[in-house]
Chains A and B, each alone.
Chain A
Amino acid sequence: DIQMTQSPSSLSASVGDRVTITCQASQDISNFLNWYQQKPGKVPKVLIYDASNLATGVPSRFSGSGSGTHFTFTISGLQPEDVATYYCQVYDNVPRFTFGPGTKVDIK
């Protein structure tokens, strides 16, 4: 099974700050990685798919990059409505799925 590490586990930043979250896979997964946002009490929502593609309707301040085993998710200008937990999620060709442990983002 593919294992995912995600860091940091939590962060606190000011409105307008640039926020970066990283995910590392235990093996080469090409670009088979997605990023989800989950607000408290809500269902997860995809923000970035296939490592770097912005999902429909998602603000352009969200972005993703990486391939192979190392991936980065960035919010370029944190907004109050971005308070949430963010998860990376990988898949293989079976398909089977693994989520990262999550990063909780708060406003300082």
Chain B
Amino acid sequence: QLQLQESGPGLVKPSETLSLTCTISGGPIKSDFWTWLRQPPGKGLEWIGSIYQTGSPTYNSSLKSRVSISLDASKNQVSLSLSSVTTADTAVYYCARWGQPWNYYFDYWGRGTLVAVSS
């Protein structure tokens, strides 16, 4: 059973870079699609980007200029970096697995971590 755990600072200042790590346990990560999503307080879900080890990451076009996702298979970790943050980036950030090719849906999720952008 896979378990995902997001970690990182809960508070980031405007214009700085938000950095989060997702640590996956219960299985190797190199054969799967790993995804970051976010949910501002009281609002809906937004896809940030995904990574598969053998390919380039894919990003939401609205965030593409500010986001970077990387994968470290040796540590079983997926990382998110979002630069030049504003208060609009305040959200719960989730790490999830896109279950392709077995399940074409997000089948494993972390519990999420709240990141507030504030001075």
- Residues in chain A within 8 A of chain B (CB atoms): 1, 32, 34, 36, 38, 43-44, 46, 49-50, 55, 85, 87, 89, 91, 94-102
Given known A87-B45, A96-B58, A99-B44, contact A43–B112 (CB-CB < 8 A): yes
The one of A49, A98, A99 that contacts B104, using a Cβ cutoff of 8 Å: A49
Instruction: State in angstroms the CA–CA spacing of A32 and B58 once bound together.
Output: 18
Instruction: State in angstroms the CA–CA spacing of A46 and B103 once bound together.
Output: 11
Residues of B near A89 (CB, < 8 A) are 45, 105-106
Given known A43-B94, A43-B111, contact A97–B47 (CB-CB < 8 A): yes
- The total number of A-B Cβ pairs within 8 Å is 55
21 A–B contact pairs at CB < 8 A?
A1-B61, A32-B104, A34-B104, A34-B105, A34-B106, A44-B45, A46-B107, A49-B104, A49-B105, A50-B104, A85-B44, A87-B45, A89-B45, A89-B106, A95-B33, A95-B58, A95-B100, A96-B50, A97-B35, A98-B47, A102-B45
Whether B104 lies near A43 (C-beta < 8 A) is no
Whether B44 lies near A87 (C-beta < 8 A) is yes
Residues of B near A38 (CB, < 8 A) are 45
Residues of A near B60 (CB, < 8 A) are 96
Instruction: State in angstroms the CA–CA spacing of A55 and B47 once bound together.
Output: 21
Residues of A near B98 (CB, < 8 A) are 91, 95, 97
A35, closest chain B residue (CB):
B105
Complex interface bits, B25-68 against A, C-beta within 8 A gives 1, otherwise 0: 00000000101000000001111001000000010110000000
